[in-house]
Amino acid sequence: MKTFIHNPILYGLLLLLLPVALKAQLQPKIANMRSYDQQGINIFEDPKDTAATFDGLKLKFGAGFTQQFQNLKHKNPDALKNDVGSYSSGEIIPGNKLKVITAGFQTAQANLYLDVQLADGIRLNVTTYLSSKHHNESWVKGGFIQFDKLPFKGQIWNDIMKVTTIKIGHFEVNYGDEHFRRTDGGHALYNPFMEGYIMDAFATEIGGEIYVKKNGLFGMIGVTNGMIKGNVDSLYAAQNPDGDRHKSPSLLLKAGFDRQLTDDIRLRISGSYYGNQSSGSNTLYGGDRSGSNYQYIMELNSANPSSATGAGTPLAFSGRFNPGFNKKVNAFMFNGFVKARGLELFGTYETASGRTARETSTRNASQYAVDAVYRFFKAENVFLGVRYNAVRATLANNATGTGAGAIKYDGNVSVDRLAFAGGWFLTRNIMLKGEYVIQQYKDFPVADYRAGGKFNGYVIEATVGF
């Protein structure tokens, strides 16, 4: 975590945040916003409050703090020697040796939220990662303006905006429903488990999204720049060795049904599409700037962070699988959610295809996941859960070694994870949870350090959100 004393801006923000944390209940209400505490669980798109009134500009600070203790073990017994085209059975070369890890506390993570009610039905959000595993400096996740009303006179505008929401800025794209349940840096209250999915679809891009919701039906269309940040410089050429420097926008589509069928049963079904046909550097499956919550797991011993690359940047995505579709990607995600009293079932099926700038043909990847969570007592402040997640993908063409002994591999690999979790909300802002996880890597080539890989163990987490 960065020392803030020498940064007057961040120091000032923390001084502002201190009284907010002590008297959070006195903060103003910002309309059409998902709560950062327990009340935000199982809220997907931001709620629509057409009855909200505006009585002046309002400013609200929020935060998410998370501290974890990790005791995980990993191994890769099938990763064999591959030195200039030769290897010996059972021998692991130093280059394939996994990082030595021991039980201990992970680096604490912290998010800062700034929400402003600018006008009637218009709000601003800016989210900052104060401390994360991906970057040792503070990092702005993004900011956007959301319109649930328009400052135009006329009944037609009022009628349109009763069912419409417009979001514009640099924000977390709304592809699929899983990103509403995953841990995001220091904010972990929404997630009953430690991590998101193995193939983690999460990206922040510049653009806009338009939502229409009525009678339980909803639809969304969005267009973004298809990259994690703005790009007008010459570095773009280095990211596209194929010579194709055309930057296409990304198209997002989403539709579904979400309704409380009875007092005890809620049903939500959704389908999403994300597509980019020529990106400079797409990060749909590698856009998390906060980092994995399994620290250093299944990482090479040689992949050490340094001041030149940022704290943890080479180790940011531990335990995840990125199919590498950074030039072209077309992805579909289908989600189903059922809540019957305290029981929650959440399912995902995702299929994607794409390629890198060095490839000439597309590859495929798919994953599915099923969560079952039961929340106890009237306040649902205690829960138990289990999740199974599996990925199957085709690796990019690669060759190792030289001459007749070279090994070429472009086959399918798979990764699966089984996780058991439990947690307790001490208050609606404070949660303690734990997870036991088993993850296995199958069918990777022997030259790959993940061949026969496996990790297992437990992680305990304390988190605050307000």
Tokens of 104: 């201990």
Angle (nearest 5°) at CA 268 between 263 and 272: 165
Beta-carbon contacts of residue 12 (< 8 Å; ≥ 6 apart)? none
Q: What is the pLDDT of residues 206-228, one digit of tens each?
A: 999 999 999 999 999 999 999 99
Q: What is the pLDDT of residues 156-206, one digit of tens each?
A: 999 999 999 999 999 999 999 999 999 999 999 999 999 999 999 999 999
Q: What is the pLDDT of residues 353-381, one digit of tens each?
A: 999 988 889 999 999 999 999 999 999 99
Q: In terms of Cα–Cα distance, which of 129, 140, 135, 131 is closest to 171?
A: 140
pLDDT at residue number 21: 47
Q: Are 278 and 258 in contact (CB under 8 A)?
A: no
Residue 244 backbone dihedrals phi, psi, to 5 degrees: -90, 105
Q: Are 125 and 146 in contact (CB under 8 A)?
A: yes
Q: Are 76 and 449 in contact (CB under 8 A)?
A: yes
pLDDT at residue number 458: 98
| CA 341, chain centre distance (Å) | 27
Give the DSSP H or E segment for 464: strand 454-465
| Cα 365 to Cα 328: distance, rounded to the nearest angstrom | 13
Q: Are 204 and 228 in contact (CB under 8 A)?
A: yes
pLDDT at residue number 401: 37
| CA 343, chain centre distance (Å) | 24
End-to-end CA distance of the chain: 21
Q: Are 355 and 225 in contact (CB under 8 A)?
A: no
| Cα 196 to Cα 205: distance, rounded to the nearest angstrom | 19
Q: Are 407 and 401 in contact (CB under 8 A)?
A: yes
In the chain, the percentage of residues whose pLDDT exceeds 70 is 82
- DSSP state string for 280-348: SS--TTT--SS--SSTTTT-BTT---BTTTBTTGGGTTTT------SSEEEEEEEEEEEEETTEEEEEE
| Cα 86 to Cα 404: distance, rounded to the nearest angstrom | 10
| CA 214, chain centre distance (Å) | 28
Q: What is the pLDDT of residues 290-342, one digit of tens each?
A: 989 999 999 988 766 543 444 455 578 999 999 999 999 999 999 999 999 99
Paired residues of 326 in beta bridges: none
| Cα 212 to Cα 220: distance, rounded to the nearest angstrom | 6
pLDDT of 14 over the 80 cut: no
Give the DSSP H or E segment for 154: none
Task: Tell me if residue 385 falls in helix, strand or coil.
Answer: strand
Beta-carbon contacts of residue 171 (< 8 Å; ≥ 6 apart)? 125, 142, 143, 144, 204, 205, 209
Q: What is the pLDDT of residues 244-283, one digit of tens each?
A: 777 899 999 999 999 999 999 999 999 999 999 998 889 9
pLDDT at residue number 55: 87
pLDDT at residue number 242: 66
Question: Can you tell me the mean pLDDT for 110-131?
Answer: 96
| Cα 193 to Cα 371: distance, rounded to the nearest angstrom | 10
Using alpha carbons, list the distances in angstroms from residue 63 to 66, 189, 370. Answer: 10, 11, 29
Amino acid at 53: T
Alpha helices (H) in 117-234, listed in sequence order = 155-161
Paired residues of 114 in beta bridges: 61, 126
Beta-carbon contacts of residue 328 (< 8 Å; ≥ 6 apart)? 276, 277, 278, 279, 282, 354, 355, 362
- How do strand 328-340 and strand 343-355 relate by DSSP bridges? antiparallel
Residue in the structure block whose two tokens are 């969560």: 371
